């Protein structure tokens, strides 16, 4: 008897198609919905991912006054130690604790606060329009240190569409709010065109057409309702 092998991937927390869209959004460079995606990302990680210790990220901002050289030079006086960075060429250095999450076998990070010795500076909402922070003791296990920002290779698919697709699957209410506000941000003629299209078709299909997404780019998304 011939045995049929069913392809099965280990450690699948969310469907592969969802995971692909998640990766597209996560690796997209700065784009319109990045902050909203981070909110959804944390919700998905908290619901479907697995917690796994912490990483520590060190971010150094180069001093602009001296271009990171530590010496201030100008035409009308002798070079002197840069007064902005006091000579080390670093304008600001911060250490951010990143919570590690495992989702579908891959590691993702959620920044939870800046580290000062053993205290964690955590964002605690706004007061009179200004962000306020609170300090908490931190004694979590740090597994590795990351220097600088994490760069990702961008993937082929449109990140805005991928974000819509994730919202469609994980937060239908926010999906409709998000597309309504996006549609309203277009000029009158485009707005009307989109509204008409949305009356007749599945919204994910409407935006795939509108963003001129090629069939081939949608291949990894295998559960589309159209
Ligand atoms: Zn400097």
**Structure token pair of residue 122:** 């955590």
Q: How many CB atoms within 10 Å of residue 36?
A: 14
CA 81 – ligand 1 centroid, Å:
8
CA 217 – ligand 1 centroid, Å:
46
Residues with CB in 5 Å of ion ligand 1: 63, 65-66, 82, 84-85
CA 188 – ligand 1 centroid, Å:
49
Q: What is the pLDDT of residue 9?
A: 58
CA 180 – ligand 1 centroid, Å:
47
- Per-domain residue ranges of the chain: 51-147, 159-218
Query: Distances from the Cα of 195 to the Cαs of 12, 159, 182, 184, in angstroms?
Result: 37, 21, 11, 10
Q: What is the pLDDT of residue 77?
A: 80
Q: Are 20 and 12 in contact (CB under 8 A)?
A: no
CA 77 – ligand 1 centroid, Å:
16
CA 92 – ligand 1 centroid, Å:
10
CA 123 – ligand 1 centroid, Å:
29
What tens-digit pLDDT sequence spans the chain (226 residues)? 555 555 555 678 999 999 999 999 999 988 889 999 999 999 999 999 999 899 999 998 889 888 889 988 878 888 889 988 888 888 888 999 999 999 999 999 999 999 988 899 999 999 998 989 999 999 899 999 998 888 888 788 999 999 999 999 999 999 999 999 999 999 999 999 999 999 999 999 999 999 999 999 999 998 887 7
Q: Reduced to 3 states, what is the DSSP secondary structure of residue 153?
A: coil
List Cβ neighbours of 66 (8 Å cut-off, separation of 6 or more). Answer: 72, 73, 82, 84, 85, 89
Q: What is the pLDDT of residue 176?
A: 96
| CA–CA separation, 194 and 212 (whole Å) | 13
Q: Are 39 and 180 in contact (CB under 8 A)?
A: no
CA 75 – ligand 1 centroid, Å:
17
State the pTM of this model: 0.81
CA 62 – ligand 1 centroid, Å:
8
Burial classification of residue 171, based on how many CB atoms lie within 10 Å of its CB (0-12 exposed, 13-18 middle, 19 or more buried): middle
DSSP secondary-structure letter at 70? Answer: S
| CA–CA separation, 80 and 92 (whole Å) | 20
């Amino acid at each position: 008897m011939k045995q049929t092998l069913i392809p099965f991937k280990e450690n699948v927390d969310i469907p592969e198609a969802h995971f692909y869209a998640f990766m597209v959004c996560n690796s997209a460079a700065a784009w319109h919905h990045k902050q909203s995606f981070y909110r959804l990302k944390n919700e998905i990680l908290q619901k479907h991912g697995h917690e796994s210790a912490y990483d520590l990220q060190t971010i150094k901002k180069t001093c602009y006054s001296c271009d990171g050289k530590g010496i201030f030079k100008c035409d009308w006086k002798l070079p002197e130690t840069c007064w902005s960075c006091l000579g080390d060429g670093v304008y600001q250095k911060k250490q951010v604790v990143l919570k590690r999450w495992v989702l579908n076998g891959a590691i993702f990070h959620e920044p939870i606060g800046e580290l000062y010795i053993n205290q964690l500076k955590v964002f605690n909402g706004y007061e009179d329009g200004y962000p306020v922070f609170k300090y908490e003791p931190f004694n979590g296990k740090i597994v590795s240190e990351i220097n600088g920002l994490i760069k990702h290779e961008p993937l082929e698919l449109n990140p805005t569409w991928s974000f819509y697709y994730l919202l469609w699957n994980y937060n239908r209410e926010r999906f409709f709010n998000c597309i309504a506000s996006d549609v309203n941000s277009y000029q009158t003629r485009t707005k009307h065109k989109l509204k008409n299209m949305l009356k007749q078709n599945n919204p994910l299909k409407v935006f795939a057409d509108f963003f001129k997404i090629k069939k081939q780019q949608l291949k990894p998304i295998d559960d589309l309702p159209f």
